[in-house]
Chains A and B, each alone.
Chain A
Amino acid sequence: QKEVEQDPGPLSVPEGAIVSLNCTYSNSAFQYFMWYRQYSRKGPELLMYTYSSGNKEDGRFTAQVDKSSKYISLFIRDSQPSDSATYLCAMFSGGSYIPTFGRGTSLIVHP
């Protein structure tokens, strides 16, 4: 079992849809959770960062962490074609800044 599991997709949705992206993990020591967006042939860029359990909202994006279930989610409201990218979850434990990445979910938002 990999430490971080993420469905690679692709996930195809119509413009305006609510998108749910998820990762599960096995290491209970993980405390810091991030979502990165990666456009084709570009480096990842940080979207959301959360510590421990709970929700965090930033514009159309909401990140949720459920440590009891070892499950994190990223919701995108009113999805746009410009949201089409690969979304990588990442996480690390306290004292380390080397994150463990999921393999990424490819999202396609069609007009």
Chain B
Amino acid sequence: GAVVSQHPSWVICKSGTSVKIECRSLDFQATTMFWYRQFPKKSLMLMATSNEGSKATYEQGVEKDKFLINHASLTLSTLTVTSAHPEDSSFYICSVPGTGGAGGANVLTFGAGSRLTVL
């Protein structure tokens, strides 16, 4: 499967500031990437589908102006949390669809995640 690098792994910011999280597909050109949010002891919640060269597709209830997604190249997608507030504190994880190799077609490979703490 793909190798996915996510940065930063942990970020602390003040309320009202913006934070950018990067997701890189190191060995696979990904036209699509997914962004998830995970609360403690909760499952993964799909936030949006990032599409290279076009607008992201957001899931219902996710504020597109709050969570800006840019997929400028086949190996990089970014999630920017704008004007962050304490309720935005969470674990954000990106993922890349599989390549149909030994792991099976269409299986997601995840980044290591980014923990955001907004003070």
Contacts and interface: CB of A to CB of B under 8 A. Distances in A.
Interface of A: 6, 8, 32, 34, 36, 41-46, 49, 51, 88, 90, 92, 96-99, 101-104, 106
A51 B49 contact: no
Interface in B63-119: 91, 93, 95, 97-98, 103-113, 115
Interface of B: 1, 4, 6, 34, 41-44, 46, 49, 91, 93, 95, 97-98, 103-113, 115
A30 to B, nearest CB: 13
Contacts of B111: 43
B110 A44 contact: yes
A99 B105 CA distance: 12
Nearest to A41: B115
B7 to A, nearest CB: 12
Given A98-B46, A103-B42, A104-B43, A43 B93 contact: yes
Contacts of B93: 43-44
Given A41-B91, A51-B104, A101 B6 contact: no
Nearest to B114: A43
8 contacts: A34-B107, A41-B115, A42-B113, A43-B110, A43-B113, A46-B1, A97-B98, A98-B46
A42 B106 CA distance: 21
Contact of B103 (A49, A90, A99, A101): A49
B43 A101 contact: yes
A3 B17 CA distance: 36
A49 B95 CA distance: 16
A8 B113 contact: no
Nearest to A4: B43
A103 B103 CA distance: 22
A43 to B, nearest CB: 4
A46 B113 contact: no
B41 A8 contact: yes
